[in-house]
Structure formats: C-alpha cells, structure tokens
A and B are shown apart, each in its own frame.
Chain A
Amino acid sequence: MDEFLQSLIRGLGTGSIYSLLALGFVIIYKSTQVISFAQPAFMLAGAVLVSYLSPAVSFVGAVLVAAVVIAVLALGVERTVLRPMVGKPVFVVAIITIGVDVVVRVVTNAFIGLDVRQVGDPWGLNTVSFLGAEVQQRYLVMIATTAVVTALLFLFFRYSRIGLAMRAVAYDQEVALAQGISVGSVFALSWALAGGLAALAGVFVATGAGVDQQLWIVALKALPAIILGGLESLGGAVVGGLAVGIVESLFGTYQNDFAPWLGPNFALVAPYALMLLVLLVRPYGLFGKREVERL
C-alpha cells in the first residue's frame, strides 16, 4: 500500500507539472486557435531566471519575479512577433512559434553556462510521512501549488471582467470584437498567462537535479495531456496532465511485475497509449468541444 501511495504521489507531482504546462497550451489555443510551441523555451527561461535570482531574493521571491518576467517576455513576443500574423493560417503561426522557441532557448542556453544550475528550492529530496508513506515534500508542494493556481485561474475566468472577455473571445472572436472587447489584449494576456505558468512548471522540474539546457524536453509531455483532456478545456488540461503523470508513474512501478511482456520503458509510452484509448471513445478528448461543421 505504501508503494502504491508513493507511486501515486510521484505521479500526481509530475502530473502537476504537466498540468501547468498544459494549461498554458490550452489558454493560448482557446484565445488564438494556435498551439504555441514556444512553451518549452519559456519553461527553460523561467527555471534559469530563478537559478540566478534565488540567492538574492529567496526561492519564493525568485519564483514570483520569474513568473512575472517570463509572462512579460511572452507578452512581448506575442505583441512583436505574433501580432502581425493575425489572420494568417494557424499552421503558419504555429511554425513561427517553433522559431520563437529556438531563439529563446538559444539565448537562454547562453545563461546556463557550463555547469548545471540550481534553483535553490528548500525541499531538496527530503521526505515527509503522508498517510503512513514516506513521500518527497516537493511532490506535495507541486500538487498544492497546482491546485491553488488552477483554482485562481478558474476564479479569474469565471468572475473577472478580463476573464469574461477571454471566454468571449474563445467563443467567437468577431462577436467579441463587435461587443467592444479588445481581442488583441486578450491574445497578449493569454500568452502572458501561459508564459508565467511555463516558468512555474520549469522551476518544479528543476527541483530534482537542476537546470540544464535539455530541461525543455519535459514540456513535450503536455501534448498528450492536452489531447487527452481536450484542446479547449482548462479542466481537461489539468485532468489530462495529472492522468499522464499518474499513468507514467504507476506503469513504471508495477508494469515490470504485472506485464513484463510490454517491454522496458513502457511507462514512457503509456500516456500515449492512454491518449489513443481515450480518443477512440471520445475523439475530441475527455472534455473537448465537439465540432459541428456545415458541409
């Protein structure tokens, strides 16, 4: 039972990271209909920034500052690089985000230097007794932080005027524009939110062993999460991210005992297998919007 609980908490912890990343992808997709492949670079940049700031302003202060700075950076990228592309095919814009990702990563890499950098988190690999099982503190922090951030996001979209504007733009851009909503501001804000979330996710990834220039690869795990949860659903992003983390962890722990015939490292494939299973039953993801098109 202890082993199961430990595996579950590990899965929920890493799943929380995937959820934060997936939320960023979905927020941008909902407002602009584009999947932004620049998220991995913002994640890396956030972690690197915290590694520089944390000795000076404490870990928590560094995370807050980095989230804001990366949000402003993402907003700036949207205003300068993406805004002129409004109206162009989404495929073209998506390709441009790949270019943004490469540029931001190359610049960030220059700040990593030769040694692995540390974010200076207070938890290390320390454990705490949780429901009778020894689990790492950092996983509990990741789960709690993601829960708080998700709750704040839902409140923001539900009750704030800007949140309402963002939902309106997601629903129909032209109608929203006709109602006096600044669609451009919504685009910029969605990029800023996604940037801040990516920075937070990057810091959590780096709590294990540090920041190297390959950290960005983790962000790719958010892709099965958003497909699984549904591209237009914030709740789907959270559930999808957690599902990917849990499936990965439980398969890693138990697959060798119960299904060794699946081969080594099936845990890495398991989230994609789950995604395919879900898509067979629900082609638009667990919480995705069914598209109805007139032919």
Chain B
Amino acid sequence: MSGKRLAVIFVGALLLASCRGGDGAAPQEGAGGIKVDAGVTSEACPNAVDKSKGCIYLGTISDLTEGPFKTLAVPITDAQKAFWKRVNDQGGIGGYEVDVTKYVKDNKYNPQIHNQVYQEIKGSILALTQTLGSPTTVAILPDLEKTPMVSVPASWTSLWGFQEVVLESGANYCVESMNAVDYATEKLGVKSVMAVHNAGDYGDDAAAGTKIAAEKRGLTFENVTTTPGQDNQGGAIDAVVSKKPDLVILTTGPTDAAVIIGQAAARGFKGKFIGTSPTWNPGLLKSPAAPAIKALYMQTAPWKAWGTESVGHTAMRAALPGVTPNDGYTAGWVWAYPLKAALEKAASNKDLTRAGLLAAVRQLTSVDYEGMLPSGAGNFSASPQDALFRQTTLYRPDDAAPTGVTLVEDFFTGSTAKDFKFEKPCYQ
C-alpha cells in the first residue's frame, strides 16, 4: 500500500473519529431496555454486590492531598463512597450498580488541574458525584453544559442556582448570611454589621447576602476583605476592633476565623460573630481562642449536624462506623441525594444517557433527603427564583456535641431571604 493511500486512510479515520461526537459513546440499549451512552456499562462494577448488574460510573474531582480544603474534601469523598455503597446494597438503580471509586481525581484546589483531570475522566463517566470548589467548577462549567454532564457541587455559591447541570443542595452562602443577619437583628438587636470575608465567590457571595440584609434592615454595613493565612488577619482584626460592629459575618477558613475572633476579643471586642459553615472546625474548641469563640461565635449551616436524629443522619452514621465525627461527612452524604433521585428518574424514563439524565433532573420537583433537609428541598424543575432553597439552621459551640456545635435555631427563613428576588448570583 502506498504511503499516499495510507495517509488518506489515516486522515479519513481521523475525520470519522471526530464525527463521533467527542467523548460520548453512541446511545445504545442496555439492561432492562434502558438507553445508555457514556459511563454506563453492561459489565459489573469493580466491587459489585451483584455481578449480574451493569455499572454506572460517576466521577469525583476533589481536594485530596495538598489543597486548602482537604480536611473537608476527604470526608465528603468518603461519605459519598459510603452513600453509593448503601445504594448498591439496597439493589442499585434500574438494574445497575453505581461506582464512585474508579474515577476519583485530585484537583489540589487548582482550576487548571481541575479541568485537566476532568478531561481525563469525562469520557468514562455518566455524571460527577462531586466537583469540589466554586472557582474550580467554574473552570469546567462550559464543558459541563455542552456535554451535558450533570454534576454535584461541593460548594454553596448562589451561582449554582442558575446552572441546570449543577445539582446543588441546601441554602447558598448568600442566603445563609441573609438569615444570619435577620436572626441577629431580631434576637440580638444588632444595629451594625461587618462582612469579613475571603475574596472569591465563597466570601463575596456571603458578603453580598450580608449587604442585602443590612440594607433591608437599615443596619450600618462595612465590607472587609481578608487574605487566607493566620498571619494575614491583622487588617481584619484592626477593622473589627476599630469599627466595633455589633455583628461580624465571617467567611474564611477555620483557623483564620479563630485568629480573628480570638485576637479581636483579646483587644476588647464584645460584638457577635456568625460564621458560614466552612468557618467551623471542632478542633477550634481546644484552641487558645476557645473562650472567645464560645462567648462570641455562632455558625450558620445549610443542614443539621452529624449527631442529628433523622433517617438520613442515622443511615450515614451507620455507613461510616468508627470515623471521627465531622460535618464534611454530612455534607458529602446530603449532596448525593439529588443525583440518586435523578438517576432513579432517568432509569424509570428508560434513558440513562447524559441527555436523559439532564432531562430527569429537570423533572425533579423535590428530592427525598430522608429528613436531612425539609420536604420541598431539591426542586430542580422551577425557575431559580422559585427553586431557591431559603432555609438555614444556626448553631453555637458546645464541647459536648459530636462536631462541637449544638443547634440554636432549627430550619428558618428570615424575612430578607423570603422576599429576595433571586434573579442573578448575589455577588454579581
């Protein structure tokens, strides 16, 4: 065969390959007459409970080694492994079991790495059971929409309410902060509020919610951006001590929060701090800042803590025996429910293709969180304004509680969040 002919065949093969529709396999009929494409195989999962069932592969992109959120990311990932194992033990979904162990990638909380590892696994998975971080997920968002790849975030930015491929759970940072300000206004009588936050959509989203609530309530508002790092909190501490707000809404990491609370209190500050859920770590109760934290700090949370009595919480604790209680596990477990509901819906629709899964997501009017979120949570069929989940909880430090916090206020919606017109991400 001449070189020229070989070249023509090679180019032709390349063209044919490029016409296949990228990484997605052509739809075909799988077990039970269900239509499948990428990420679903008739072969059993690597650790299948029932070898006769096919396998749905879900991907995980998390911060597993050296990034800043490893202490949350590892329990989130472990909880999701336990969650899907329970699903498999209970018979799987539509004649398939679910594997979340084969395609687990570390993003080091770096958007470039996140995109790179996503490209490595996207051809082999039906959906992402975890894409950790807001800036990291934003880096792959256009691809997620184009593919389409249904994805479960491990973050709470209000942006996700506008992305139909993203299956968020619970209230976002913006709503958390609105409810925190409303609570403090009504129960603690605060007249001034300061948002101390990291830059980026985590902190900016909470600061935006704080500002919206402060304006609605007629409170004085101050905005202070702070850089991560224990040695970098001097500016924020000076701002808190000199402006003396009645309430500080914190959106930082746990040790940075402890430095700010401890140092501000040591310099005579007597106002209250309410932190979003990532500001908390049970280890802070043993830190030098513990007396100040117990006296001045409360924590908002999108759902109830590890030790709560509900069907979901009980199942989670049973599925994770022997672990140190941590609400990273709770978050990972809760976040998995909507994807389970979407997979079940898609299976009952006889369409487990990526497009079929997205169509199933759009049909979800509510998700059964087994009591971990109130009924009505998990509406993915309505507009962002109608679907936005607006209830949060409030906790205070408690040495006796498993994760160091005890419930102060059960699920509630403040008047600001209740009346808020959700037309774009809060921080934009």
Contacts and interface: CB of A to CB of B under 8 A. Distances in A.
A106 B67 CA distance: 10
B258 A213 contact: no
B231 A218 contact: yes
Contact of A210 (B226, B255, B292): B255
B235 interface: yes
Given A217-B229, A265-B225, A210 B326 contact: no
Contacts of B71: 112-115, 212-213
A264 B265 CA distance: 21
Interface in B286-300: 286-289, 292
B255 A248 contact: no
B139 interface: no
B27 interface: no
Given A125-B262, A127-B266, A217-B229, A210 B234 contact: no
A162 B289 CA distance: 43
Contacts of A252: 234-235, 237-238
Contacts of B237: 252
A241 B187 CA distance: 46
A209 interface: yes
Contacts of A124: 288
A9 to B, nearest CB: 12
Given A114-B71, A114-B326, A127-B266, A215 B230 contact: yes
Nearest to A102: B66
Range class of the A interface residue count: 35 or more
A265 B226 contact: yes
B185 interface: no
A264 B224 contact: yes
A238 to B, nearest CB: 18
Interface string A1-38: 00000100010001001000000000000000000000
Interface in A182-231: 205, 207-210, 212-215, 217-218, 221
A117 B283 contact: yes
Contact of B230 (A121, A127, A205): A205
A210 B289 CA distance: 9
B232 interface: yes
Contacts of B242: 256
A28 B157 CA distance: 44
A212 B254 contact: yes
A106 B65 contact: yes
A268 B258 CA distance: 19
B266 A136 contact: yes
Interface string B260-288: 00110111000000000000011110111
A17 B70 CA distance: 26
A109 B287 contact: no
B281 A116 contact: yes
B281 A115 contact: yes
Nearest to A209: B258
A249 interface: yes
Contacts of A106: 65-66
Interface in A61-102: 102
Interface string B199-238: 0000000000000000000000000111111111011011
User: What 5 pairs between A and B have smallest CB-CB spacing?
Assistant: A116-B283, A115-B283, A209-B258, A124-B288, A252-B234
16 contacts: A6-B267, A114-B74, A115-B71, A116-B255, A116-B281, A116-B287, A205-B231, A207-B288, A208-B259, A208-B288, A209-B259, A212-B255, A217-B229, A217-B231, A252-B237, A267-B234
